[in-house]
Chain A
Amino acid sequence: MSVSIQVWDLPLRIFHWLLALSVISEVVTGEIGGNLIDWHGRIGVLILGLLVFRIIWGFVGTKHSRFINFFPTPARIGAYFKGQWQGHGHNPLGALSVIALLGVLGTLVGTGLFSNDDIAFYGPLFNLVDKSVSDKLSGLHALIFNLLAGLVILHIAAIVFYVRVKKHNLVVPMLTGKKVVPKEQTVPTEQSVPTTDHASSVLNVGIGIRRLLVALTISGVVAWGVESEAKYLAPAPSSSASVAAKPNW
């Protein structure tokens, strides 16, 4: 007998797929360059907003979204390797991957905001640092991308491994939010009735929506603030390049 339980809430799933799409777009725009580099910058700010949202959601989201419920502590990782871990959200290894991905993406966004490409692109916060610092951060940005590529490959390889070897499809739950588990498995870690896990995510819809709005507002304000920073600080290169201050010669 198996039951379907709610593992990933809707905001988390939207976050996940938006992030995946954004990362793909970043690779494409970053590789092609040209005028697309401006989109690379804008999508980078979108990713900043997504990351801020994910961090807030890690405190106020539903059960399996919360860091406290899956943060990969040594005890949890140890238990996992002894085969004692039981749960339905991120397992401790997957959780390590989540933390690593968030950290690496955060570093990529962080360096990207201050970067320049020595062609015609200046990150929205370029003017807050020296050109030499910006150059270093731009180099780091390119270097750290390799880490992200490695993590993404690992992420996809793990999904393939789960489908092929462990006969678990991880993609479907990330689309539907639901996961089918043997009924007896819901007992030890969930509250005694299997449906409570599902219920916990829908019970207080009102509270959930209020939290969601707060999280969206904060992440929106952060992203918008960073993007508009570029306009407040008159960019060094274009201040000498602007039409306004123009003698006749």
Chain B
Amino acid sequence: MKFKSKFALALICTAVSAAAFAGKDEDQQIKFRQSAYTFVAWNCAKIKGQVADHPETYSKEQVIASANAIAAVANSGLGALYGPGTDQGTGWKKSRLKSEFFEKPDDVRQVAVAFKDEANKLASVAATGNVADIKVQFGELGKACKSCHDKFRVKEE
């Protein structure tokens, strides 16, 4: 009897903790990727501020540092953070990934590769220190961001 109740308790504990941890890995992936893009947004704001909004504040090293940071994130293998089921979970906030993401791997590859390419190109243009060119390439990176947002991100309502 005593054994039986201990066994039942153990079962309940297992069930409860399993429920509590269900989706834990997915949520962790979502947190990582939300953090990655937030970090990218900070670096984008720095570049834009220095090449577009306030060119008088332009600092070559800072723009290079930001462009390299963005390229590093883009090259870090973000695809690993898009495991099955990660359109449903909640990271720092609820994920806005569309479920179509998992049905259109070719489109996903296209936008993912575009992000990497444009980010790498921005890093190399930043190294030249030509503000006009940096601004143009920054716009191209923005378009790459937008194409994924348009295709695979739920509009906030």
The residues of A with any CB-CB pair to B shorter than 8 Å are 32-38, 117-120, 132, 135-136, 138-140, 142-143, 235, 237-238, 240-244, 246
Q: Is B10 an interface residue (CB 8 A)?
A: no
Q: 6 other contacts beyond A119-B145, A243-B50, with CB at 8 A cut-off? A: A34-B146, A138-B156, A237-B42, A237-B45, A243-B59, A243-B62
How far is the CB of B41 from the nearest CB of chain A, in Å? 7
- Complex: A237 Cα to B138 Cα, angstroms: 17
How far is the CB of B51 from the nearest CB of chain A, in Å? 10
Q: Is B117 an interface residue (CB 8 A)?
A: no
Q: Once the chains bind, are A139 and B44 in contact (CB under 8 Å)?
A: no
Q: Once the chains bind, are B49 and A135 in contact (CB under 8 Å)?
A: no
Q: Mark B75-108, 1 if CB is under 8 A from A, else 0.
A: 0000000000000000001000000000000000
Residue of B nearest to A33 (CB): B146
Q: Is B48 an interface residue (CB 8 A)?
A: yes
- Complex: A64 Cα to B46 Cα, angstroms: 50
Residue pairs across A and B with Cβ atoms less than 8 A apart, 12 shown, are: A34-B139, A34-B140, A34-B146, A35-B136, A117-B146, A119-B149, A136-B156, A138-B155, A238-B46, A242-B49, A243-B50, A243-B59
How far is the CB of A196 from the nearest CB of chain B, in Å? 52
List B40-78 residues whose CB lies under 8 Å from chain A: 41-42, 44-50, 52-53, 57, 59, 62
Q: Which residues of A contact B53 (CB under 8 A)?
A: 238
Q: Which residues of A contact B62 (CB under 8 A)?
A: 243, 246
The residues of B with any CB-CB pair to A shorter than 8 Å are 37, 41-42, 44-50, 52-53, 57, 59, 62, 93, 135-136, 138-140, 142-143, 145-146, 149, 155-157
Q: Once the chains bind, are A241 and B49 in contact (CB under 8 Å)?
A: yes
- Complex: A242 Cα to B42 Cα, angstroms: 11
Contact A33/B142 with A38-B52, A120-B48, A240-B42 known, Cβ cut-off 8 Å: yes
Q: Which residues of B contact A238 (CB under 8 A)?
A: 45-46, 48-49, 53
Q: Once the chains bind, are B46 and A32 in contact (CB under 8 Å)?
A: no
Q: Once the chains bind, are A117 and B138 in contact (CB under 8 Å)?
A: no
Most chain A Cβ neighbours within 10 Å, of B44, B48, B139, B156: B156
- Complex: A33 Cα to B149 Cα, angstroms: 11
Contact A33/B143 with A117-B149, A241-B49 known, Cβ cut-off 8 Å: yes
Q: Once the chains bind, are B44 and A119 in contact (CB under 8 Å)?
A: yes
Contact A237/B52 with A34-B140, A34-B142, A35-B136 known, Cβ cut-off 8 Å: no
- Complex: A49 Cα to B53 Cα, angstroms: 22
- Complex: A244 Cα to B59 Cα, angstroms: 11
Q: Which of B142, B146, B157 contacts A140 (CB 8 A)?
A: B157
